[in-house]
Structures are given as C-alpha cells and as structure tokens.
Amino acid sequence: MRVDVVTAFPPLFQGPLSESILKRAQAAGHAEIIVHDLRAYAFDKHRTLDDTPYGGGAGMILKAEPLFACVDTLQSQRRYDEVILTSPAGRVYDQNLAKRLSMMGNLIIICGHYKGVDQRVIDTLVTMEISIGDYVLTGGELAAAVIIDSVVRLIPGVIGDGESMLTDSFMEGELDCPYYTRPPEFRGMSVPEDLLSGDHKRVAAWRARAARMLTKQRRPDLLTDAIEDAEHGRRKRK
Ligand code: ADE
C-alpha cells in the first residue's frame, strides 16, 4: 500500500512513522508512506498556504491552489483509491473503515488545518472526509497519523503473529478480554485459575466470557451493533 500525506507540517510525522510497527512495515515494503510538504506547492513569493475567509470571521483557511497543485501532481503519476481529508466534519472513524482502507492500494491523505479548507478542494478533490472523534484537534496531522497507524497494522504480514491482529478488540464487534502475565500472584492479586490451567478450551471459554462481560459493562452499544449487523446479514441473504 502507498499513502501520500499532504501537510503544512511534515515534522509532525517524524515520530509516529519512524518507530515500532510502522517503521518495520515500511522497511519490509508493506507500506510506502510519503509525506509531502504543502509549502513546496505554494508558488507565490511568500509561499502562502492560508488566507482569511471571505465574509470575515476568525481563523485562517487553507488555500485551494497549493492543494490542487500537489494533488494534481500526485494524480498525474498514479491512480488513487481515495483522497481523504481529515476534518472534524467527516464521518467518524472506526475499525470497519480501517479494514476497508487497509485493502486499498493508493491513498492520499490531506491534513486539514487552521479553521478549515477552501470548500472547492472538498467539492472537487476530496472523496472522503474522516473525523477521528468528536473533539477538535489543532490540525489534521495527528488524525492522519492515527488513520495510518490503524490501517497499516491491518495489512497482511505487517504484524508477525497474525493471531494478535485477528483477535484485536473490535474485530469481533466486542472489546478484548483482560490479559495477565507473570508472576501468577502479585501483591495478593492472583491470575484467574482458568488462564493458568494449560487447558486451551478452558482458556478460550474464560476469555469469551470475560470479553462479553466487559463489553456489556462498558460498550453495550457494540453488542447491539453486532446483533443488528447479524440480523441485517440474514435479511440480505433471504
Ligand atoms: N481536525 C481537527 N479535529 C479533527 C478530528 N477530530 N478528526 C480529524 N481531523 C481533525
């Protein structure tokens, strides 16, 4: 998969992209992530990226020209599956969307910034707006890093132990169960016996029960969604 990130603040990506799983995924050729400095596409004397909104008001708007110049250049080189804009006005991101994006070949992610982006960019270039949650970030860069992280780890081969990805929280529409590691007793707290039993069936049953209980307590909405999906699936198959 190739991801082209368009941003006015390239240094914000240095940390997230150069550590841990994202670093390995790139080194192994599973993901190619290229960060483009939007300023390189601002052709006026002062390399201006933003301007005040027509009609007045506070805040600055990311200008159309540099974004069009950058995206046009990229699209003249290859076909992209989606041109994503990170924005608090986008559809709210979740694991299902992460799965869908992880199956794509080429993505552009434009990082929204300042007060907003010229609407002509959204109307013409952008195919999908994504919000990572109902709160406002200072810019779309951290949101783009979240999207890239959650998508790249789903690409087959990126996570060595394939199991750990398939049993992720949310993969089955539930939260993941609690985990313990050595020692079996710590400050008077013991690890549940089923987990120490060495009996795979007992372990699996304990984990299924614990995951269901945690989901019921914390995120009952996930269980409702899963039931509705299953019912919808049955209806569709009829
Ligand atoms: N830009 C500012 N806030 C954002 C959010 N919650 N998600 C995506 N992009 C954003």
Show the domains of the chain with their CATH numbers.
Answer: 2-152 (3.40.1280.10), 167-237 (1.10.1270.20)
**What's the gap in Å between 9 CA and the centre of ligand 1?**
15
Provide the b/e sequence for 21-56 (b: ≥16 CB within 10 Å).
ebeebbeeebbebebbebeebbeeeeeebbeeeeee
pLDDT at 211: 96
Q: Ligand 1 atom 7: the closest Cα is on which residue?
A: 131
Q: Which amino acid is at 182?
A: R
Are 62 and 120 in contact, with CB atoms under 8 Å apart? no
> What does the mean pLDDT of the chain come to?
93
**What's the gap in Å between 135 CA and the centre of ligand 1?**
7
For 157, the token pair is 């081969």
Ligand 1 binding pocket (C-beta < 6 A) is 86-88, 112, 131-133, 135-137, 140, 143
Using pLDDT thresholds of 50, 70 and 90, give the confidence band for residue 161: low
As a whole number of angstroms, the distance between CA 229 and CA 164 comes to: 24
Q: Ligand 1 atom 9: the closest Cα is on which residue?
A: 87
Q: How much of the chain exceeds pLDDT 70, in percent?
A: 94
The DSSP H or E segment spanning 5 is strand 2-7
Average pLDDT of span 184-191: 98
Dihedral sign from CA coordinates of 107, 15, 133, 166: positive
Using pLDDT thresholds of 50, 70 and 90, give the confidence band for residue 100: very high
| pTM of the complete model beyond 0.85 | yes
Using pLDDT thresholds of 50, 70 and 90, give the confidence band for residue 181: very high
For 158, the token pair is 């990126």
**What's the gap in Å between 93 CA and the centre of ligand 1?**
10
- Residue 125: CA count within 13 A, CB half-sphere: 26
